[in-house]
Structure 1
Amino acid sequence: MPTVMVTGASRGIGREFVSQYREAGWNVVATCRDPEGAGYGEGEAYELDVADPVSVKNLAEQLDGEVIDLLINNAGINLAKHTNFGNLDYDAWDEVLWVNVLAPLRVSEIFAPHVERSKRKQIIFLSSIMGSIAENSGGMPIYRSSKAALNQAVRSVAPDLRAKGITTLLIHPGWVQTDMGGPSAAIDAQTSVTAMRETFEALTPSMAGQYVNYDGTPIPW
């Protein structure tokens, strides 16, 4: 039975990943900051604050010896989304960069040995089309810059991970009806996650570090 680890599994896309992979018969390591508050029963999810290095290290030790076939870095935030030049919120910017860029890299670095021991060896990073410089139409500089930085960071470490046999992928989940995406978004979480899972199944080592839509089509950097 393959194992998938999902960060940010309290709601939305993360919760849908947990639901679909469990239904498909996978062993699911669901993680979030407050499993009980998210409605998980005892033993159904692990406590993990991706922005807290101690929390990440503690979970890695708790899962020592666990083989993780697929690591999905889903956790992310979007703060001060309506600020623009002239009223930029630098404290919010710092927090967004920490959670959206540094945290998934740290989680991946600490859990890479767990992934390396598996047969599948895949690490996924949920990015956004808003991280594309080519597609940037302006606005939301905090969130856009965090996803652009994530793209660059993952693209930079992809060869290092590939040397360990680990394949990475940056994926845009689409504009999804979640707390972050809002009720007017184009697709629901079920549609997004179903398509992303199909994309993961088609992932090969030669695709390491690519930046794609939820349906697998490439996004310009």
Structure 2
Amino acid sequence: MRYAITGASRGLGLEFVRQLLNRGDSIDAGVRSPSDAKQLQSLAREAGGRLRVHALDISDAKSVDAFAAAVGEGQPLDVLINNAGVYGKEGTLTALDYQSMADTFTVNTLGPLRLSAALLPALRRGSARRIIHITSKMGSIADNGEGGSYAYRVSKAALNMAMRNMHLELHREGFITVSMHPGWVQTDMGGPQAPLRAEESVRGMLNVIDRLRAQDGGRFFSYEGQELPW
């Protein structure tokens, strides 16, 4: 199987790369600065051509197009994992940083849409036709009992809606696209106090991704495979 993964230099993205390489898959990894992605580059040297590292800024249309051209090259792509994301600035209603919110929306919502569209020809050539959006339970309206985190919550809720639209447009072609909540994970974003290790989260998500069927398209799952409320 051939995967494309964004935000692959650290955290969940890097762990996706590790686990997929260990089981024999091929990966095109997108990172903002390939020269700074030391761990990823080390994995690429050991992978014997099964891991290619590309520059990718999902907030920039030209960067997305260049990544898609490099990944596509007339070859099939089986699974896209839209993992890259940012948290954005905190703030109460009267102290919101609207530029930060716009930037967060550009990365967390528009970026996955832009990249999914750019890679659609390669995905159509693949056999699995799966598009996975790493979102968050913080984007669930039903689950929001605390408030706060406007930028992150709003952008992830919008990503969930974008995923649902994508499902309705593409499922007749055999595509399966879902949103996935990775849990509260010990990453730069989640912090050291998070209860879940990246290895456990990614292992669970890959288990869910591998088992997806047509009827699962357009749904919102946890890393454990539990369906989550919108």
Common fold, TM-score beyond 0.5? yes
The residue type equivalent to 1:201 in the other structure is D
Using the TM superposition, give the Cα deviation of residue 78 of structure 1 relative to its aligned residue in structure 2, in angstroms.
0.6
The residue type equivalent to 1:149 in the other structure is A
Question: Is 17-26 or 37-46 further displaced after alignment?
Answer: 37-46
Match of 1:183?
192
Mapped contact 2:220–2:227 kept (Cα < 8 A)? yes
1:143-202, Cα deviation, whole Å (9 max, x unpaired): 100000001111112111112211101000000000000000010100000000000011
Mapped contact 2:30–2:67 kept (Cα < 8 A)? no
- Give the distance between the partners of 1:79 and 1:141, measured in 2 at CA: 8
Deviating above 2 A after TM superposition, structure 1's stretches of 4 or more consecutive aligned residues are 41-44
1:28-56, Cα deviation, whole Å (9 max, x unpaired): 11111111101115774111111110011
Using the TM superposition, give the Cα deviation of residue 129 of structure 1 relative to its aligned residue in structure 2, in angstroms.
0.2
Mapped contact 1:124–1:168 kept (Cα < 8 A)? yes
Q: Secondary structure at the match of 1:14?
A: helix
1:32 aligns with 2:41: no
The residue type equivalent to 2:4 in the other structure is M
The residue type equivalent to 1:4 in the other structure is Y
Using the TM superposition, give the Cα deviation of residue 206 of structure 1 relative to its aligned residue in structure 2, in angstroms.
1.1
Using the TM superposition, give the Cα deviation of residue 66 of structure 1 relative to its aligned residue in structure 2, in angstroms.
2.1
Which protein has the bigger helix share?
2
* Structure 1: segments with no counterpart, 5+ residues: none
The residue type equivalent to 2:33 in the other structure is D
Alignment equivalent of 1:53, drawn from 61, 69, 81? 61
Q: Secondary structure at the match of 2:36?
A: coil
RMSD: 1.1
The residue type equivalent to 2:126 in the other structure is S
Q: Secondary structure at the match of 1:168?
A: strand
The residue type equivalent to 1:187 in the other structure is L
Using the TM superposition, give the Cα deviation of residue 119 of structure 1 relative to its aligned residue in structure 2, in angstroms.
1.0
1:201 aligns with 2:210: yes
Alignment of structure 1 residues 42-121 onto 2, 5 Å: 44-63=52-71, 64-80=73-89, 82-121=90-129
Residues 1:33 and 1:202: Cα distance change in structure 2 (over 3 Å): same
* Structure 2: segments with no counterpart, 5+ residues: 46-50
Mapped contact 1:127–1:147 kept (Cα < 8 A)? yes
Percentage identity across aligned positions? 41
Match of 1:192?
201
- Give the distance between the partners of 1:95 and 1:19, measured in 2 at CA: 29
- Give the distance between the partners of 2:207 and 2:216, measured in 1 at CA: 14
Mapped contact 1:116–1:165 kept (Cα < 8 A)? no
Match of 2:130?
122
1:77-107, Cα deviation, whole Å (9 max, x unpaired): 0111x31111000010000000000010010
Mapped contact 2:166–2:177 kept (Cα < 8 A)? no
